[in-house]
Amino acid sequence: MKVVVVGNGMVGYKFCEKLIAKKLPDLEIIVFGEEQYPAYDRVHLSDFFNGKNADDLALAPASWYKENGIQLHLGDPVQYIRNSIKLLQTFKGYVLHYDILVMATGSSPFVPRIDGIEKDGVFLYRTVEDLHLIKSYAKKAKRGAVIGGGLLGLEAAKALLDLGIENPDVIEFAPRLMPRQLDEAGAEMLASTLTNIGLNIHTNKNTAKITGDECITGMQFTDGTSLQTDILVVSAGIKPRGELAAECGLETGMNGGIVVNDYMQTSDEFIYAIGECALYNEMIYGLIAPGYEMADVAVHEICRIHSASPVKTKAFTGFDMSTKLKLVGTDVASFGDPFANGDNVRNIILRDTAKGVYKRMNVSADGKYLLGGVLVGDATQYNILLQTCKNKLILPPNPEDMILPARESKKEEGAGIVALPDDALICSCESVNKAAICKAVSEQGCETVDAIKKCTKAGTGCGGCLPMVKDLMVYTMKQQGKYIRNVLCEHFAYSRQELFDLVKLHELKTYDDVLDQLGKGDGCEVCKPAISSILASLWNEMVLKKGNDTSQDSNDRFLGNIQRGGTYSVVPRIPGGEITPEKLIVIGQVAQKYGLYTKITGGQRIDLFGAHVGDLPLIWSELIAAGFESGHAYGKALRTVKSCVGSTWCRFGLQDSVSFAIQVEERYRGLRAPHKIKSAVSGCIRECAEAQSKDFGIIATEKGWNLYVCGNGGSKPQHALLLATDVDSETCIKYIDRFLMFYIRTADPLTRTATWLNKMEGGINYLRNVVVNDSLGMAAQWELEMQGLVDAYVCEWKVAIETPEIRKRFNHFINAPGEKDPTVKFDALRDQKKAANWK
Amino acid sequence: MIKQNDTAVQNAHWFAACRVEDVVENGGVCVKYGDEQIALFYFTRRNEWYATQNECPHKKQMALSRGMIGTKNNEPKIACPFHKKTFSLTTGECLSGDECSIKTYPVKVENGNVYIYVE
């Protein structure tokens, strides 16, 4: 069967994808597209101005079509169809016979008849080509305007903003913005938010004339007003592209849309029409979700007709125009009947001009059903409202609770999902219902969101439904009585602490030994670094020893932090932040020689960025020759012990905090742990070293030191808690030994000390009992083990540069040693350089 | 492990990439082929060889050869060191639920030489 698809837009592409999935025998698909690019994501077209290109927006690369045996002809629109003999001819002269023809010609922008619209500087907003033109013309434009205050028009206005045009004007003919989606009050709220971010909104304005000689210089309106502009983007609605269909005698209707039946068939049963060119029930559907459903319905019907066994029909039902989007950073959504009004309708309206939030619910007079509504400024409840509306769920006694900002009422959320019927549509982009998601979890064993995405395609479109997908997954797993056991990954049925004890008991030394004896399968990126960390914490052997090298996380494998572009950063250890002028000079010379960007870190060290992987051994050879050693900035290990200058210079200092910081840093350098460890020592209670934000922090007192533990900065800052007061240096070190060994042994992978303590039953009091009062009787053993680790320390960079087998790995190309990755690019920045932006 | 190629192309041939001992066990290296960069993996545990494009399609970084290999339900995979997107080493499809995929190449080993089939 030869299926020819006319048009390679989003819906045309989706049709191909869905038809391929049916794996029909003897199927041949030929696609003709007018544009030069394979189908791209038109919904996110304005991302083009955020640095994305046509490839980024592509729904699938050209190779995808080839791999799936689809003939794709770009830049070659179909010119006419002779449907009586099932033949078509293209612009480039192909003449082709088809069995089934699918019209996915989409729409073109509606161009209003305005005097002067042909002038230079007036653009449409629909294709990548249009955007190229706008982008290059905008360079010489100072002022800009958009005709059309609908969805696309506002996107276009944002695009102008992104192109550096200040305060673009938006001209809307209707009395309000987005008249198809928003009521008056909602549109007003949106207008005021958009005004605040720099758009000039004009409603009730009808353009009479575009002025200027060859190029546009201004616009005149029917109310006698005018404005000046150098560029104008017209986005005044769409016009279905049904010319081709009309010419060959297919029935077309309003605006030229191709009339289709419930199964997307046109008046010729061998020709289907889907997407924005199709006129169903006298309506054009200019949204992506109904377009995708049309593709699905057409595929189903084509397969049904060509199937040997009887298959049930599937009719188009996607007349839902509910939509949710982010416009210039503002949530806007409307669902069901957003405008429902009158005697049989009650409205609940929440309006907060301070926050720019407007929410409207239209409820049936008996208060039982949700008919529709509008959300502006905050659309977090969109999914549950949409489901309640679509599935005619009975509203709670106080329906207004559904749109009130979330308080402390966690029960409600779960209840919402449970109440949904099986056919509730969760992902409207890919039409996946609740039952399909629950089934993926219960019958196909999908127990991660990724697995569900893969299995059902839910959440692969706009992604807005992912929180609900996750809630459904957890809910279904609980229903099945699944105890979510804290195991490492599919290869190890143990927690990290269990593995730690087992590895120690069996004295296992390599990743493969651990996997063979305690796990199954061949490992993955979750268990490899976790086991490697355990091995390092237990035996402190060089991490790149053969057998353990490739089980290290990338940063440990190359002993540097991988940065944008694939270069690495170099951080030599500067204990306590103390450094001699001679050593500073060496760092400067090395940075200069290898062209590195230098920056002072938050931990009182110097970070050198932009090192090619092949340069790393050379850089480190020079640094080590000058007396530096690895700073372990790449490892889940002790990073730095920050200090203030203390009693050596400071007039307030009580103890020599720098010396103690150096002592502590040198003791624990290279210590591998479940996560990074940071520390600091302050010379007095003024706390200039910020010790209370560290995994362990030490503050000088008149009598000795106060030891604080389990603090961290990061996304959830937490102050460290006082563990011991007025202890001498020796006791302080002992307590830190015990504390760190306890943490290393019992924490889950990638858990900082703060989180570890938060999960600990009994909290800081229990921890103090274990560490200070030795309630577990482990103190002596832990101190011994720590001393063993301290004694086993070697600078791993020194080993790496001295071991040819390891040094050989620091090359980008295996078959061109010494050659650098030619794709690495830098940009200039304030007399230094930075990694080129990634796409 | 030798895989069959579906479409024979005129220029296609086996390209001698390196020696077996050049490739790190249970890990990857990057092979230069003209302007192309190919990630070559020696899955020693399974005694299998794989080759894919070196560029991770997510952020277009030349990094896959530096990633960790492993399996997901016995399907061999590679995790990009940047954001841990994972891809099947046999089909190239993304296993982290994204729509992108990577190109794979057949590999063969003869007399200690590793060959990659290029077009």
State whether residue B102 sits within 8 Å of chain A by CB. Answer: no
Specify the amino acid at residue A163: L
State whether residue A317 sits within 8 Å of chain B by CB. Answer: no
Q: What is the pLDDT of residue A412?
A: 39
What's the CA angle centered on A149, arms A147 and A153, to 5 degrees? 70
Number of Cβ pairs closer than 8 Å across A and B?
A: 115
Give A 436-475 residues with CB within 8 A of chain B.
Answer: 449-451, 453-454, 459-460
Residue A829 has pLDDT above 50, yes or no: yes
Q: What is the pLDDT of residue A410?
A: 40
Of the pLDDT bands very low, low, confident and very high (cuts 50, 70, 90), residue A383 is: confident
Find the mean pLDDT for residues A483-509.
82
Closest residue on chain B to A63 (Cα): B103
Q: Which domains does chain B have, with CATH numbers?
A: 13-118 (2.102.10.10)
Q: What is the pLDDT of residue A397?
A: 78
Cα separations in angstroms, A778 against A414, A741, A765: 44, 10, 17
State whether residue A41 sits within 8 Å of chain B by CB. Answer: no
**What is chain A's percent helix, strand, coil content, to nearest 5?**
35, 20, 40
Residue A411 has pLDDT above 60, yes or no: no
Of the pLDDT bands very low, low, confident and very high (cuts 50, 70, 90), residue B2 is: very low
Q: How far apart are the first and last CA of chain A?
A: 40
State whether residue B61 sits within 8 Å of chain A by CB. Answer: yes
Residue B75 has pLDDT above 60, yes or no: yes
Q: What is the pLDDT of residues A332-355, one digit of tens each?
A: 999 988 988 888 899 999 999 888
Mean pLDDT (chain A) is 89
Residue A90 has pLDDT above 70, yes or no: yes
The residue whose two tokens read 């009887």 is: A310
The SS3 call for residue A171 is strand
**Domain over A2-108+240-305 is classified CATH 3.50.50.60:** yes
Question: Is A587 in contact with A598 (CB distance < 8 Å)?
Answer: yes
Interchain CB distance below 8 Å, A814 and B67: no
A638-791 matches A2-108+240-305 in CATH topology: no
Q: What is the pLDDT of residue A290?
A: 87
Q: What is the pLDDT of residues A796-815, one digit of tens each?
A: 999 999 999 899 889 999 99
Rounded to 5 degrees, what are φ and ψ at A635? -105, 160
Give B 31-50 residues with CB within 8 A of chain A.
Answer: 31-32, 35, 37, 40, 43, 45-46
Written as six digits, the tokens of A727 are 């202890």
Find the mean pLDDT for residues A356-373.
91
Contacts with A491 from chain B: Cβ below 8 Å: 70-71
Shortest CA gap B27–chain A (Å): 5
Give A 394-433 residues with CB within 8 A of chain B.
Answer: none
**CATH class held by domain A638-791:** alpha beta
What's the CA angle centered on A342, arms A340 and A345, to 5 degrees? 65
Longest dimension (CA), chain A: 101
Q: What is the pLDDT of residue B7?
A: 44
Contacts with A838 from chain B: Cβ below 8 Å: 59-61
Q: What is the pLDDT of residue B9?
A: 46
Q: CATH for A111-236?
A: 3.50.50.60
Length of chain B: 119
More confident residue, A644 or A328: A644
Q: What is the pLDDT of residue A483?
A: 61
Contacts with A564 from chain B: Cβ below 8 Å: 61
d(CA A229, CA A226): 10
Of the pLDDT bands very low, low, confident and very high (cuts 50, 70, 90), residue A414 is: very low
Of the pLDDT bands very low, low, confident and very high (cuts 50, 70, 90), residue A628 is: very high
Longest dimension (CA), chain B: 39
Q: What is the pLDDT of residues A671-700, one digit of tens each?
A: 999 999 999 999 999 999 999 999 999 999
Count other Cβ atoms within 10 Å, centred on residue A599: 12
Closest residue on chain A to B32 (Cα): A813
Q: What is the pLDDT of residue B1?
A: 44
Interchain CB distance below 8 Å, B76 and A523: no
Mean pLDDT (chain B) is 88
**What is chain B's percent helix, strand, coil content, to nearest 5?**
10, 50, 40
d(CA A264, CA A319): 13
Give A 259-288 residues with CB within 8 A of chain B.
Answer: none
Which of B18, B59, B69 is nearest residue A838 as measured by Cβ atoms? B59
d(CA B45, CA A512): 8
d(CA A469, CA A417): 10
Q: What is the pLDDT of residues A518-551, one digit of tens each?
A: 999 999 998 999 999 999 988 888 888 877 888 9
Show the beta-strand stretches assigned E in A261-353: 271-273, 278-280, 283-284, 323-327, 330-336, 345-352
d(CA B52, CA B91): 10
Q: What is the pLDDT of residues A35-52, one digit of tens each?
A: 888 898 877 777 777 667
Rounded to 5 degrees, what are φ and ψ at B91? -105, -15
Bridge partners, A210 (sequence order) = A219
* Least confident interval from A42-51, A734-743, B4-13: B4-13
d(CA A584, CA B67): 34
* Least confident interval from A125-134, A299-308, A392-401, A769-778: A392-401
Question: What DSSP state is assigned to residue B46?
Answer: G
User: β-strands A2-6, A28-32: how paired?
Assistant: parallel
**What is the CA A352 to chain-centroid distance, rounded?**
30
Interchain CB distance below 8 Å, A524 and B72: yes
Q: What is the pLDDT of residue B25?
A: 92
Closest residue on chain B to A544 (Cα): B24
Which residue out of B68, B103, B114 would a mutagenesis test of the A interface target, given it has the greatest number of A Cβ atoms within 10 Å? Answer: B68
Contacts with B84 from chain A: Cβ below 8 Å: 525
Host H or E run for residue B116: strand B113-118
d(CA A72, CA A62): 8
Which residues are CB-contacts of A616 (< 8 A; sequence separation ≥ 6)?
A558, A559, A560, A568, A570, A810
More confident residue, B100 or A727: A727
Which residues are CB-contacts of A338 (< 8 A; sequence separation ≥ 6)?
A181, A182, A183, A186, A360, A362, A372, A373, A374
Interchain CB distance below 8 Å, A460 and B99: yes
Q: What is the pLDDT of residues A278-291, one digit of tens each?
A: 999 888 888 888 89
The SS3 call for residue A414 is helix
Q: What is the pLDDT of residue B64?
A: 95
Q: What is the pLDDT of residue B30?
A: 95
Q: In what order do the strands lie in the sheet with B36-43?
A: B27-33, B36-43, B48-53, B104-105
ipTM: 0.87
Question: Is B109 in contact with B49 (CB distance < 8 Å)?
Answer: yes
Which of A454, A546, A551 is nearest residue B97 as measured by Cβ atoms? A454
Q: What is the pLDDT of residue B5?
A: 45
Which of A413-422, A483-492, A732-741, A768-777 reaches the highest mean pLDDT? A732-741
Interchain CB distance below 8 Å, B99 and A60: yes
Contacts with B69 from chain A: Cβ below 8 Å: 550
Of the pLDDT bands very low, low, confident and very high (cuts 50, 70, 90), residue A159 is: confident
Residues of chain A with pLDDT > 70: what percent? Answer: 97
Sequence spans of domains, chain A: 2-108+240-305, 111-236, 496-552, 638-791
Q: Which long-range contacts (CB under 8 A, 24 or more apart) does A405-414 make?
A: A405/A378, A406/A380, A413/A471, A414/A471, A414/A475
Q: What is the pLDDT of residue A463?
A: 67
Residue B40 has pLDDT above 50, yes or no: yes
Rounded to 5 degrees, what are φ and ψ at A714? 75, -160
Q: What is the pLDDT of residues A217-262, one digit of tens each?
A: 999 999 999 999 999 999 988 889 999 999 989 999 877 899 999 9
